[in-house]
Amino acid sequence: MNHLKLIDKKMKTSLHLSWMFLAFCMLHINAQNVLMPASSGDEQGLEIPKSIILKQDKDAYVDALKTWYTDDFKKNSHRLDWFAEAKFGCFVHWGVSSPLAGEWNGVGALGYAEHIMRSRKIPLNGYKEKVVSAFDAPDFDADKWMKTAKETGMKYMIVTAKHHDGVAMYPSNVYPYDIRLTKFKRDPMKELSAAAKKYGIKFGFYYSHAFDWEHPDAPGNDWDFGNPGGDKQLHGNNWWENYPEFLPRAEKYVDEKSIPQILELISMYHPDILWFDTPHKLPLYLNIKIVKAIRTANSNIVVNGRLARIGSVNFGDYANTGDRAAFFRPNQGVWEAVPTTNESYGYNKFDNSHKSPQHFVRLLASAAAKGGNILLNVGPDGSGAWDVKDVAIFNGIGKWMQVNSASIYATTRNPLPLQSWGEITQKADTLYLHVFEWPKDGKLTVGGLNANVNKAFFLADLKKKPLTTKQMNATDFVISLPKQMPDSLSTVIKLEVKGKLENKTLQLLSTTNKSQLLVFDAKAPGKGFSYGDGKKNKEFATNWISDAQYLQWEFRTNDAVVFDVKLAYNTADKNQNGEVVLEIDDTKYPLSYNATKISNTNIELPVGSVTLTKGNHKMKLSLVKFEGTQAMQPLSVMLCPINK
């Protein structure tokens, strides 16, 4: 039997999310302290092994697919129902390192503050003495945390029960390196679990199963123990290939700490969901062993996509994007993105790069329109309080959700072509139009809408005053709008429709407002492209090394139009100059480009004025020549109407 037939479609397509890129965006801050840059090892757990290496891996893989995993999946496919409908959750990174706030011995640092033990190579004994034993949280209020999440419109919460530093944030009798060693003599997990029930929020835990800097037999701590899996990359990325002598020790860690604590969390708190990370620190068979232990203990628990995976097979219930994605590639199945309010998951007092409520509202709509969830992270400070900047973000989102949550919860992905003005979500015979770019001429055209519209009105309008509508042609529908955008975060229009909704037309570009065609949405007939992880300026195609590779977009216009066209790109290195050709219909535009001098920035390369007739159009980006290891990394093509 072909085992792929036993794998749900969401597992076979989960790799369409880009998980492979590990660079970290630098932040602009104002601080008195001398700051270290973000550590290159902050983002962990994105690598995916493409083939089975060990006999143990093969045995565990085959056993899972032939027996328990397949049986479990058939019997418990319903367990993901609540998650798929929830759409919006709260991620909380909080632990004994939170009081440090990104600072050690008077020196602050950007990056993931919760990684400070690793990034500063703090000795375990020193960490126990100065960090663990000193931890206290006089302002911790589980009810306040949960109430804030509830008022923000979040349906589930995941909190760090044990992060990579190995400290359990609850009393663990199976491995008592835990909260009882601190000054904080309470059980925050118990209090949060109770508060979640009070507010009707699903609750679960983040648990670092494969990366542990306390246990002498776990991967990760190469400064105290000389173990593989750390920044020194001792014995390589897949250490089990080159250092099989360490396998018995890794097994000891999993059997002695990881699995017992996971089962303890299940028995003590009855979580709805468990969230894991860094599976590449362990060989596949040990990750599968952990999955099996969870399924045996409670088959109703939802498990995220960063626990056990190989090639296109993911043993979790859904897929995860990389950290802090702001753009999403089209993908099938259920998935989840994990943005954070600034650029650190744990509390970092030096990181003032907080994004606006508008950013997250639009991210939430974009994810829902593509079938995904947003798990928005906040890092409380060492006292247990939330930063006022984070509270303001949550309040702003909550205000919007109080009015517009129907356009998010239990919706399905956009059934129509992409729209240049925003996103679309669907619920049965209702379409929700999330308008980000307000039409300058007051006419919002919904491209590809071939069903009858019974009524259109602003979702925020309690009186449901109808908007003036008109069928423009066989495939497009026009809504007349007021001059001013009612809600700058995202104005939602509710369309009640009748008839079958089908994506049968090309994307319609506006002739009055700018349109951005993302590389993430382009066709790539030539093999070999990889893609960025979706962070700002990383929504690119990369590994462009052959003229057989190209990107292609198809779109249409309802009128003749003149566009000012620009190509946004960056380069991986400072010596990657070259030449590309942007071909629009039958006209070619040769473009010489220079390497970007500053990392994580992009350049807008002018293409010029392009005149298009009414109708369908094709645009193709091809490679002519390049210097260095690869060509440019294109991000998008911007088309701005001239004299409109």
CATH value at residue 475: 2.60.40.1180
CATH value at residue 561: 2.60.120.260
pLDDT value at position 526? 76
User: Measured between alpha carbons, how far is 303 from 316 in angstroms, rounded to an integer?
Assistant: 5
Q: What's the chain's length in residues? A: 644
For the stretch 76-79, contacts whose Cβ atoms lie closer than 8 Å and that sit 24 or more positions apart, written own/partner, are 76/299, 76/300, 77/8, 79/299, 79/300, 79/301, 79/302, 79/317
pLDDT value at position 51? 72
Question: Is 350 within 8 Å of 108 (Cβ atoms)?
Answer: yes
Tens digits of residue pLDDT in 442-496? 999 999 998 999 999 999 999 999 999 999 999 999 999 999 999 999 999 999 9
- 588 in any annotated domain: yes
Classify residue 487 as exposed, middle or buried by CB count within 10 Å of its CB (0-12, 13-18, 19+).
Answer: middle
Ranges in the chain, pLDDT < 70: 1-36, 39-41, 43-50, 644
Which of 334, 301, 98, 97 lies closest to 205 in space, CA to CA? 301
Specify whether 320 is located in the same domain as 427: no
pLDDT value at position 313? 87
CA–CA–CA angle 570, 576, 579 (5° rounding): 85
Distances (CA, A) of 345 to 3, 160, 482, 541, 635: 37, 11, 40, 26, 26
Classify residue 32 as exposed, middle or buried by CB count within 10 Å of its CB (0-12, 13-18, 19+).
Answer: exposed
Amino acid in the structure at residue 170: Y
- 374 in any annotated domain: yes
| Alpha helix ranges (H) inside 405-527 | none
- 416 in any annotated domain: no
User: Measured between alpha carbons, how far is 268 from 441 in angstroms, rounded to an integer?
Assistant: 59
Specify whether 364 is located in the same domain as 473: no
Which of 332, 378, 373, 334 lies closest to 355 in space, CA to CA? 378
Can you spell out the DSSP letters for 353-415? -PPPHHHHHHHHHHHHHTTEEEEEEE---TTSPPPHHHHHHHHHHHHHHHHHGGGTTT-B---
pLDDT value at position 40? 66
List, in sequence order, every beta strand (DSSP E) within 1-51. 35-36
- 55 in any annotated domain: yes
- Count up the domains in the chain and report the number: 3
Specify whether 240 is located in the same domain as 300: yes
Q: What DSSP character marks residue 130? A: I
Specify whether 62 is located in the same domain as 127: yes
SS3 91: strand
Q: End of a domain among 463, 486, 505?
A: 505
Q: What is the pTM of this model?
A: 0.92
- The residue behind tokens 């071909």 is 583
Q: End of a domain among 407, 439, 463?
A: 407
Enclosing domain of residue 635:
515-641
Which of 567, 566, 583 lies closest to 620 in space, CA to CA? 583
Specify whether 435 is located in the same domain as 550: no
Which of 417, 413, 431 lies closest to 493 in space, CA to CA? 431
pLDDT value at position 35? 67
- 303 in any annotated domain: yes
Question: Is 281 within 8 Å of 254 (Cβ atoms)?
Answer: no
Specify whether 435 is located in the same domain as 400: no
pLDDT value at position 49? 66
Q: End of a domain among 407, 432, 461?
A: 407
pLDDT value at position 31? 32
Specify whether 393 is located in the same domain as 464: no
pLDDT value at position 502? 86
